[in-house]
Structure 1
Amino acid sequence: MNILTVNAGSSSVKVALFQGSLEPTTSVSIENIGSTDASLIPEGKYGSSGTAPVEAVNHAEAVKQAVKWIYDQTNIATIDGIGHRIVHGADKYFQPTILDDSVIDAIDQLKQLAPNHMQPSLDCVNELMNEYPAVPQVACFDTSFFHQIPEVARTLALPKRLRDQGIRRYGFHGLSYQYILDNFAEHEGETAANGRVIIAHLGSGSSMSACLNGKPLDMTMGFTPASGLVMSSRSGDIDPGVIDFLLSSGHDRADIQRILYKESGLLGLSEMTTDMYTLLQSEATDPRAKLAIDVYAYHIRKTIGAFSAVLGGVDSIIFSAGIGERSAEIRRRVCEPLEYLGIKLDPKRNEGGERLISSVDSDVGVHVIHTHEDRIIAKQTLSTIKEEK
């Protein structure tokens, strides 16, 4: 079986090829879509070929070129299925779903819930549906992991007439969380994975989830991926009154969306960059960088405390995604003040990037797991296609 996975971001797209027993063969990303700086970045065993400039005026053109690159490099004869990461399934889609015109139309109606993520995904879907009409394609939803979240955690304190329209907390990064829990169970055992687990997916988009018995009980992201923790350029949770204030100050809807999605978070706090590494390098001489880091770590620590209350304690904490996997300093700043919860890091393990970074006398296991959303997309795509046959 040859399965392609497609993961579209606001200005990027990653396509990966999985073969046989769903082992990743290779992948390629196209970054800076719509810019003169657009580039094709090979990964896996073809990564040594290096980054190359590419013309990619939009996501449709980018995904077409990415798939062509995989065909050219691997000489595969056929594609048996294509899986797409779709950020928002709202209250309509709870499991992977074969894409057809009606499903695509329904997803299109949801795109206003996550416009920076959904439109690029739809552009990729439409391009590949046109290019490969005979190949089954599957939508894999980031929200489905949280489908059975307890009512008390998913409900917003709004009038019933609005809640009946599907306005509730959904949660995101679900494909990542599913992979992390599966991987945790594989390496640490089912008992550990079924314990009181807090997962921190810390990347350009950051979120956290509290899990018990392998299922989520709560999460930081809510109705849209703009909510929750401080992120690279997204504000995270803010007082709803701020929106009213901005409207009364003359800002229109597009302006407010740009501010909250693209000008806030680490970028808004530091006034310099979205990149955590750059901020850490600058904090000694730039108080804005220090403030951005302090606020970022503070909200993660606060959430660990809140989630420990939800879970009745904590057995394991897992860091993942770009910042969570690569920044020993952020992990240290998050964990050191939490010794009262029984959390103790081993400095050498943490700096060395080991999988288990807690000390031998820590009551809580602290782990670092590389997330692999594409593997979950491939797995869900293959199983969904088999079920349809």
Structure 2
Amino acid sequence: MEKNLILVINPGSTSTKVALFKDKEMLSTTSIQHDSKELIKYNKIIDQLDYRMSMLNDAIESYGLNLSSLRAVVGRGGMLKSIESGTYLINDRVIEDLLEAKRGEHASNLGALMAKRISDPLNIPAFIVDPVVVDEMNDIARISGMKEIERTSIFHALNHKAVARVVSEKLGRPYQDLNLIIAHLGGGVSVAAHGKGRVIDVNNALDGDGPMSPERSGTVPLGPLYTMCFSNEYSLKDIKRKNYGAGGLVSYLGTSNAKEVLKMIDNNDSYAKLIMDAMCYQISKEIGAISTVLKGRVDAIVLTGGLAHNPYITRYITESVSWISTVHVYPGEDEMSALNEGALRILNHEEQVKLYE
């Protein structure tokens, strides 16, 4: 059988990760670092496209990659409209929506655009896989309590779905037959109820819903918040920053680095321990709350993401929630492999490619 060569492109805020796969084997990978002083010159993230493409092409040339043998290119999906889980062909509608950035600017918006620029001259398909806007929520989960505001699904969909497949294989049962709670623990935290192959409820990991995280505030009491908003002491930008980027561990301890916080705890810093425990407490509380969505019938709880490398954090959460179901720990998030495998499922005819409309 002919091997599938696939190029994967994953733009981040200050880097662009690139990897070449032969089927599931990663042949090479690199992370192109972008100078923040250079990036600041661009008013919008989309304006970085030519700059990043130039550096990507230089990297491809320096590594001597033979693009003519590629069967597909995969880019990290961005802030599109809400869509169901799956692998999508990058069509004109995808490009149009990402260029307009109507649903928000994010470095991941560049992924599909860069993949399409590589694939078009080669006349091969380009895909995105499970972007952050995957939305499979039940209608009842969308009700917020304030009619003007609807709860929305923005979460670490790529890693959630990839880990769900791994767990289902370990349990020897199809994902579509399982009830799982998956908690992605990273700079942001998303805790989701996976009911029979669908993410039927999840906190919005971007806009302040759910538990605090290393750099996000999570849900906070509204009364004090809107008093702050109208105090004339803070701009809208300030408030957004307190929610996203300067919230959570950063707000209390001045760092989003969990390893630094653990060093503080090892040095008998009781305040650092209180704040770290509070984050673990809130994550555990979210897992307990979302177990009610599955009516307590939970086949497994899964802890994943970068913070899941940390035994202090996983031990605290496991001790708090293991009465609900068995806890499985899968540290990290292998986004490059997850993107590659999404394309492979299409090339191997295991799934039907989806169209963004």
Please give the TM-score of this superposition, normalised by the length of structure 2: 0.79
Establish whether residue 290 from structure 1 lines up as the match of residue 273 from structure 2: yes
1:384 deviates by 5.7
| Pair 1:149-2:151 in alignment | no
Residue of structure 1 aligned with 2:108, choices 117, 121, 126: 121
**Structure 2 gap ranges (5+):** 39-46
Residue 382 of structure 1 and its aligned partner are, at CA, apart by: 5.0
1:16 aligns with 2:25: no
**1:145-198 Cα distance to aligned partner (Å, 9 max, x none):** 4x3321112333343xx56xxx44213111111110111122221168833321
The answer to which structure, 1 or 2, has the higher relative contact order (CA under 8 A, 6+ apart) is: 2
Unaligned runs of 5+ residues in structure 1 are 37-56, 343-362
User: What is the root-mean-square deviation in Å for CA atoms of aligned residues?
Assistant: 3.3
The corresponding residue for 1:103 is 94
1:69 paired with 2:59, answer yes
Letter aligned with residue 32 of structure 2: I
Equivalent residue number for residue 41 of structure 2: none
**Superposition pairs for residues 76-225 of structure 1, below 5 Å?**
76-78=66-68, 79-91=70-82, 95-110=86-101, 112-113=103-104, 115=105, 118=106, 120-127=107-114, 129-130=116-117, 133-135=120-122, 136-143=125-132, 145=134, 147-159=135-147, 162=148, 167-190=150-173, 194-221=177-204, 224=206
**2:80, 2:151 → 1: CA distance?**
12
Paired AA for residue 245 in structure 1: T
User: What is aligned with 2:263?
Assistant: 281
- Residues 122 and 308 of structure 1, relative CA distance in 2, 3 Å threshold: closer
Work out whether residues 33 and 58 of structure 1, in 8 Å CA contact, stay in contact via their aligned partners in 2: no
Look up the match of 1:316.
Answer: 300
- Out of 365-374 and 303-312, give the one that drifted further: 365-374
Task: Render the CA deviation track for 1:22-49: whole Å, top value 9, x for unaligned.
Answer: 432222223464158xxxxxxxxxxxxx
Aligned partner letter, 1:137: A
Partner Cα distance (2:132, 2:153) in 1: 6
SS at match of 1:30: strand
In the alignment, the residues of structure 1 paired with residue 314 and residue 83 of structure 2 have an alpha-carbon distance, to the nearest angstrom, of: 36
Report the Cα distance in structure 2 between the residues aligned to 1:303 and 1:287, rounded to whole angstroms: 24
- Kindly state the Cα deviation for residue 331 of structure 1 after the two structures are TM-superposed: 0.8
How big is the shift at 1:365?
A: 4.4
Query: Following the alignment from structure 1 to structure 2, what is the Cα–Cα distance between the partners of residues 128 and 327?
Result: 34
Decide whether aligned partners of structure 1 residues 109 and 245 sit closer, same or farther in structure 2, where only a CA change above 3 A counts.
farther
The alignment of Structure 1 onto Structure 2 pairs a total of residues equal to 334
The alpha carbon displacement at 1:377 in A equals 2.0
Counterpart AA for 1:65: M
Contact in 1 for aligned 2:75/2:115 (Cα 8 Å): no
1:304 Cα deviation after fit: 1.8
The worse-fitting range, judged by mean Cα deviation, of 59-68 and 230-239 is 59-68
